[in-house]
């Protein structure tokens, strides 16, 4: 059975801290791994990773994939209160490009 | 750029009533389309996906159905709602020109009482 497991489930940090969110997976016919940020409504796309060892970066956010060990991390440096959200990891499978989501990590950044 | 419309935004329905949620996509052609449900305390669950008109794949057996009558229209339906159908329903689409990232519509929050 396909699995996507995110850890921790929730996290509370102070503004300015650096956080690392984890995503491990066991999925047949893997194509890519995606990260989304979900605030009150629909998830917004952050990154799509297909190759091992290549870091993707956008501002204070970065992510990397390890296809040998079957995991990915999402790093957020110098966190701000606006980073508070649920971060979702999803793995894309071969047929129809369906996404298998983890349960998410709920991040709260306090001032 | 691609835009996904979903309506209604919020819906409260009695148990046993029918359901029809609509999703339309602008700014792209021949997208893959998806229906997800997010229930309280659970992750996003894929319900249906479609790679073309009239082509529907179901991921989870349930009392819901989906149809794709036009290239950029995806409809989620039920003949009789259950309490367990409550949740946040999200439509997603792949991006134009072979982009594989899925982008989400604003969602419909359904409460079944």
pLDDT tens column, A94-106: 766 678 899 999 9
**Best residue in A36, A89, A91, A97 for a mutation probing chain B (most B CBs within 10 Å):** A97
pLDDT exceeds 70 at position B37: yes
What distance in Å separates residue B83's CA from the closest CA in chain A?
22
Least confident of A26-30, A88-92, A106-110, B2-6: A26-30
Q: Which residue has the higher pLDDT, B94 or B47?
A: B47
| 3-state SS assignment for residue B96 | coil
**Average pLDDT score over residue span B35-52:** 88
Contacts of residue A80, defined as CB under 8 A and 6 or more positions apart, other chains included, come to A15, A60, A109
Contact B103, B92 (CB under 8 A): yes
Closest residue to B90, CB basis, from A42, A45, A104: A42
Domain count along chain A: 1
Residue-level pLDDT at A92: 85
pLDDT exceeds 90 at position A53: no
**Average pLDDT score over residue span A79-98:** 87
- Delimit the domains of chain B by residue range: 3-112
Residue-level pLDDT at B98: 52
**Average pLDDT score over residue span B70-95:** 93
| Residue A99 to residue A85: CA distance in whole angstroms | 20
Closest residue to B32, CB basis, from A32, A34, A97: A97
pLDDT band at A51 (very low <50, low <70, confident <90, very high): confident
Structure tokens at A48: 């799509």
Q: Are residues A96 and B32, on separate chains, in Cβ contact within 8 Å?
A: yes
Structure tokens at B19: 């359901």
Residue-level pLDDT at A106: 96
Average pLDDT, chain A: 92
**Average pLDDT score over residue span B30-49:** 88
pLDDT exceeds 90 at position A31: no
Q: DSSP letters along A10-78, please?
A: EEEEETT--EEEEEEEE-TTEEEEEEEEESSSS-EEEEEE-STT--EEETTEEEEEETTTTEEEEEE-S
pLDDT band at B78 (very low <50, low <70, confident <90, very high): very high
Contact A49, A63 (CB under 8 A): yes
**Which CATH number does the domain housing residue A11 bear?**
2.60.40.10
Least confident of A79-93, B4-18, B59-73, B97-111: B97-111
B102 at the A interface (CB within 8 A)? yes
Q: Are residues A48 and B44, on separate chains, in Cβ contact within 8 Å?
A: no
Least confident of A73-87, B42-56, B89-103: B89-103
Residue-level pLDDT at A95: 61
| Residue range(s) defining the domain that contains residue A46 | 3-110
Any idea which fold B3-112 has?
Answer: Immunoglobulin-like (2.60.40)
| Residue B9 to residue A107: CA distance in whole angstroms | 25
**Average pLDDT score over residue span A18-32:** 92
């Amino acid at each position: 059975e396909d699995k996507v497991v995110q850890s921790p489930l929730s996290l509370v940090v102070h503004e300015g801290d650096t956080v690392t969110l984890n995503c491990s997976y066991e999925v047949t016919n893997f194509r890519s791994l995606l990260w989304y940020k979900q605030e009150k409504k629909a998830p917004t796309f952050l990154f799509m990773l297909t190759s091992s060892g290549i870091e993707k970066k956008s501002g204070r956010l970065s992510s990397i994939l390890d296809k040998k060990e079957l995991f990915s991390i999402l790093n957020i440096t110098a966190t701000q209160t606006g980073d508070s959200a649920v971060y979702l990891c999803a793995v894309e499978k071969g047929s129809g490009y369906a996404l298998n989501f983890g349960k998410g990590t709920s991040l709260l950044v306090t001032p | 750029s691609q835009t996904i419309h979903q309506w209604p935004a919020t819906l409260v329905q009695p148990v046993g009533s029918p359901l029809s949620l609509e999703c339309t996509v602008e700014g792209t052609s021949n997208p893959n389309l998806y229906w997800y449900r997010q229930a309280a305390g659970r992750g996003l669950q894929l319900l249906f996906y479609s790679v073309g008109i009239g082509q529907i794949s179901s991921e989870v057996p349930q009392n819901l159905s989906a149809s794709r009558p036009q290239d950029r229209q995806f409809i989620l339906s039920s003949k009789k709602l259950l309490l367990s159908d409550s949740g946040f329903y999200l439509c997603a689409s792949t991006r134009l020109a072979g982009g594989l990232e899925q982008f989400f519509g604003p969602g419909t929050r359904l409460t079944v009482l």
